Amino acid sequence: MTFFLEVIGTIAFAFAGALVAIDNDLDLFGIECMAVMTACGGGMTRDIILGNTPPMMFRNPVYVTMAVVTGFLTVTIYNKFIQSRYKDRILDMISILDAIGLAIFTIVGMDLAMQLGYTGAFLICAMGVLTAVGGGLLRDVMVNVKPVILTKEVYATASMIGSVFYYFTLQTAIPAVVTTIIALVIIFGLRMWTIIKHINLPVVEKKQQI
């Protein structure tokens, strides 16, 4: 089940990465690189920070392979996709898959940190958020786009709220499976709700300088 959700997340992230790459006129290698980095970069960064080397993505290349295949598919269907009358509907679907990825990678990242024996609340929650949003951050930094997760929308914040909930509820008597499902629903729900309602995080309104 986790594996199935991870596959969905990987494909959604890889697709998003490939789209950004194509928008930025990268070549085929660049597109594949961005698909892989978006899908696996968060986990890679987490593993490096935890000293869990070499990172998973290099030891078990199944996710990298999925990302590469997704990259090729994106290249193949891009023009059909962009001209399709279903374009907006497909993009909506991608948003949903991406929100699923956000939720599942947060929980997977936290579980992995706990499996490695770490206990600090901050470390574990940070590893969850990093696993979920690190790939998108790396992707944007690599093509010199101002990172989406730093500028708008409730993205990392949804992951963060869910991670704090998950961490503290795990300490209670509530069965882990229930906790996991609620945490996933919180992250996914917050993300989708703020997309639908166009809710963004506050920015500082700059008054005219005098």
Could you tell me which of 159, 142, 44 has the C-alpha nearest to residue 99?
159
The whole-angstrom separation of Cα 178 and Cα 184 is 10
Asked if 199 interacts with a copy of itself (CB under 8 A), we say: no
User: Got the DSSP string for 50-110?
Assistant: TT--S-HHHHSTHHHHHHHHHHHHHHHHHHHHHH-TTHHHHHHHHHHHHHHHHHHHHHHHH
Question: Is the backbone peptide bond immediately before 54 cis, with ω within 30 degrees of 0?
Answer: yes
Asked if 94 interacts with a copy of itself (CB under 8 A), we say: no
Q: Which position among 114, 123, 182, 192 is part of the footprint of a copy of itself (CB under 8 A)?
A: 123
Q: How far is the CB of 198 from a copy of itself (least distance, A)?
A: 14
Asked if 35 interacts with a copy of itself (CB under 8 A), we say: no
Q: How far is the CB of 5 from a copy of itself (least distance, A)?
A: 23
The whole-angstrom separation of Cα 52 and Cα 39 is 18
Q: Which position among 3, 25, 171, 175 is part of the footprint of a copy of itself (CB under 8 A)?
A: 25
- Contacts with a copy of itself, residue ranges (CB under 8 A): 21-22, 24-31, 33-34, 44, 48-51, 53-55, 58-59, 61, 64, 75, 78-79, 82-83, 118, 120, 122-123, 126, 137, 141-147, 149-152, 155-157, 200-207, 209-210
